[in-house]
Structure 1
Amino acid sequence: MKINCLVLAAALVLPAGFAAADGDPVAGAKVFKQCAACHTVDGKNKVGPTLQGVVGRPVATVQGFKYSKAMTEFGADGKTWTEDLLKSYLPKPRELVKGTTMTFAGLKKEDDIENVIAYLKDPAAAK
């Protein structure tokens, strides 16, 4: 009986969606296909900068990539692409970074955002 009470107590205290908080990199690889026209995870820049190592990287700092003025200014105060910042950015990139040249409208589903972040953190986990 005590174990059941503890499980119930934990369920009441943990935030909704806690179990999926880390995302699924395999599902994230599928979501990333929407990004692949402009971005890679292999270190090569395309129309957009490589997203290899983006989680934890300072904003607008990929060597050899020419960022828009808006993105450069957005990162000028030392912002880093944390999971939380990506969660704010990915649903509406042009709303968070006004004037960015990125034309992607954004990811609408929370699961897609969690999954693509998991993939970006460890693309090899999707293989």
Structure 2
Amino acid sequence: MKLLSRGAALALAGFGLLQAPAQAQDIANGEMQFGRQCVACHVVRDPEGQVLAGRTARTGPNLHGLEGRVIGSVEGFRYGDALGELRARDVTWNEERFLGYVQDPTAWLRRTLDDRRARGKMAYRVRDPQDAADIYAYLRSLSGARAAAN
């Protein structure tokens, strides 16, 4: 069997034709990483106002119900132009977009919008891909657990 060149594999992966093996997500690690990497700027507050994670941080938007939400759509939060453009296009958060964004916000925005001048306000990067995936799983568990309780 012939091996694909790295460039061909990346191109196929970009079109969703070649999938990397999924790694198990660790919600407990996601909770710990959220506390280490995200809590200074973000909170997870449910619609009833209960803080599920974080404190009262307001630098970044509330991350409750992130999955499936239109990017840049938290009421009362002032987003940058690039995320505003994604909101105008009704692009929603999913795991792939979240992982790309949190690992390198500016690069992800530039690729997604095909605009080399696009910038995000979030300067922080989650450097470890597994930590990013675990944080996403943790956020999903908070939103899902709350929805299941209602």
TM-score over 0.5 for the pair: yes
TM-score, length-scaled by structure 1: 0.74
TM-superposed deviation, 1:49: 0.5
Deviations 1:48-79 (A, max 9, x none): 11001111111011111111122101332111
Q: Does 1:107 align with 2:110?
A: no
Q: Is the 8 A contact 1:31 1:112 kept in 2?
A: yes
The higher-RCO structure (CA 8 Å, 6+ apart) is: 1
Q: Is the 8 A contact 1:29 1:123 kept in 2?
A: no
The number of residues matched between the two structures is 108
Deviant stretches of 4+, over 4 Å:
none
Change (3 A) 1:75 1:19: same
5+ long unaligned stretches in structure 1: 1-13
Which of the numbers 57, 62, 68 marks the counterpart of 1:56?
68
CA RMSD of aligned residues (A): 2.2
Change (3 A) 1:100 1:113: same
More strand by share: 2
Q: 1:36 is matched with which residue?
A: 39
Q: Which amino acid aligns with 1:91?
A: Q
Q: Which amino acid aligns with 1:103?
A: A
Q: Percent identity?
A: 31
